Structure 1
């Protein structure tokens, strides 16, 4: 359950209770009134994180270009290790091993999620970028400035046909958008990838030990974006065209990860230069799957889990 709106929510992390068993190992029971024991942190992406993909002016559609933590490459391709998250639906077999990159997230690198009153007092528009850079004391050519410009630009892109998208700048706006999409009376679950606990090895071989498809007719994935405070880029399809999975993985070093993953069954509208096509050696229109980073949350109706 999400705790009540108000002062109790105004802290550097916002805690959501969660359940942890093998049948529901990634789910969070969510409503808007009260909380119980257990928690998961809603986190933002730190401004010092690199934006791994090129910031191209001709991008028409953000969901065709996944943020940093959603890209993958085989080591032989001499790409950034963080690109090791893509796979095909045929790879979802128990016993299958593959190299996967999971970033290690922690409180020291996490911007806080603002309350609406705070967020609404700060402009969130590319037209206000010069003011914002001065406000946050970032030099114009700094990585932080480029990250802010990237985030503002992506948030201002129009959704494609059949897509729902929204950039949440506060805790309340994140929750309100999810509830407006699914209905005010719908109980929600949040699926996540469990963060690494004992390992500093971000890229290693993992073996699939369990696969569970989530039957949600509608879903909303919210990715953190580079910004001085937590921004969630949320998007989903109005009809069910993707497949959502919960995957249990055993790492070579003994690390176990309960991962959320999605398979995009139709990529015909994606940018034909999307890195996933090159990584998987497939053509636009082919199925493309990827694991979610631990700082991504996926909202689904509770009945679907």
Structure 2
């Protein structure tokens, strides 16, 4: 029996994608976010939007890779752009675009929520040999996702049995997506994972929940 704490940050607010035409027309930058969406420059949203722009524009090289082991990555500012990323071989390699499974964690397990329960079932969704990608929901006035191809990782669906404050089992199971990084050799020694696990790069795998709001894509054929 375990208690799962989904980070001590506020739940991501619900935001919609911009229409593709508008997303392509509007400049995507921290300055434009302040001007177009009339944000207070000192607001948390303006500051987080600047971080999102930094991730999408400065963290991704012109060839579509990041500094993290050269993994492929891209940001999507419209639903059409997200669909194109999932269908293209850039993230998932050569695959049948009609056969891709989308995995997500139950909306009750969001950032900042505290969940008490026990694991009742674990299913492997993607092995180290299977190419898969995850798209993270970033803070911006409209929906923006940072998607990247993950190397040397495994993806699991974990079914959890909720427990109330008295320890009694709740009826409906909760689904959570978990990811295990099997090779941490190239990670920063100061990474939070090593602080929590009291270990070093290359010494064992690092597993974490894929929080509600993020999506994992796995080819099924």
**Band of TM-score, shorter chain:** 0.7 to 0.9
Alignment partner of 1:260: what SS? Answer: strand
| Residue equivalent to 1:268 | 185
2:39 to 124, 138, 148: 138
Distance 1:280 1:205, change over 3 A: farther
**Following TM superposition, by how much is the alpha carbon of 1:267 offset from its aligned partner in structure 2, in angstroms?**
1.7
> Which residue, out of 182, 191, 205, partners 2:103?
191
User: Could you tell me which of 117, 132, 142 is aligned with 1:229?
Assistant: 142
- Residues 1:122 and 2:12 aligned together: no
Tell me the distance in 2 between the aligned counterparts of 1:152 and 1:235.
Answer: 16
- 2:176 is the counterpart of 1:259: yes
Distance 2:201 2:37 in 1: 40
Q: Secondary structure at the match of 1:294?
A: coil
Distance in 2 (alpha carbons) for counterparts of 1:268 and 1:231: 30
Of 164, 176, 185 in structure 1, the residue corresponding to residue 72 of structure 2 is 164
CA RMSD of aligned residues (A): 2.4
**Structure 1 CA distance for aligned equivalents of residues 18 and 123 of structure 2:** 34
* Counterpart selection for 1:148 from 25, 46, 49: 49
Count residues in correspondence. 198
How far 1:184 sits from its partner (Å)?
6.5
1:277 and 2:194 matched: yes
Aligned-partner Cα distance in 2 for 1:251–1:149: 37
Normalised by the size of structure 1, how large is the TM-score?
0.60
Deviation at 1:281, TM superposition (A): 1.6
Residue 206 (structure 1) shift: 2.1
Range with bigger deviation, 149-158 or 165-174: 149-158
Q: Distance in 2 between matches of 1:184 and 1:118?
A: 30
1:53: which partner in 2?
A: none
Deviation at 1:226, TM superposition (A): 0.5
Distance 1:147 1:249, change over 3 A: same
The answer to whether the aligner puts 1:244 opposite 2:155 as a matched pair is: yes
Q: 1:131: Cα distance to partner?
A: 3.6
Normalised by the length of structure 2, the TM-score is: 0.81
1:249 touches 1:258 (CA, 8 Å); kept in 2?
A: yes
C-alpha distance in 1 between matches for 2:32 and 2:213: 28
Question: Which 5+ residue runs of structure 2 have no aligned equivalent?
Answer: 61-65, 165-169
Larger relative strand fraction: 2
Which of 107, 113, 128 does residue 202 from structure 1 map onto?
Answer: 113
For 1:138-179, what per-residue CA distance to the aligned partner results, in whole angstroms no more than 9, with x for missing partners?
222221111011001111213133401111100011010111
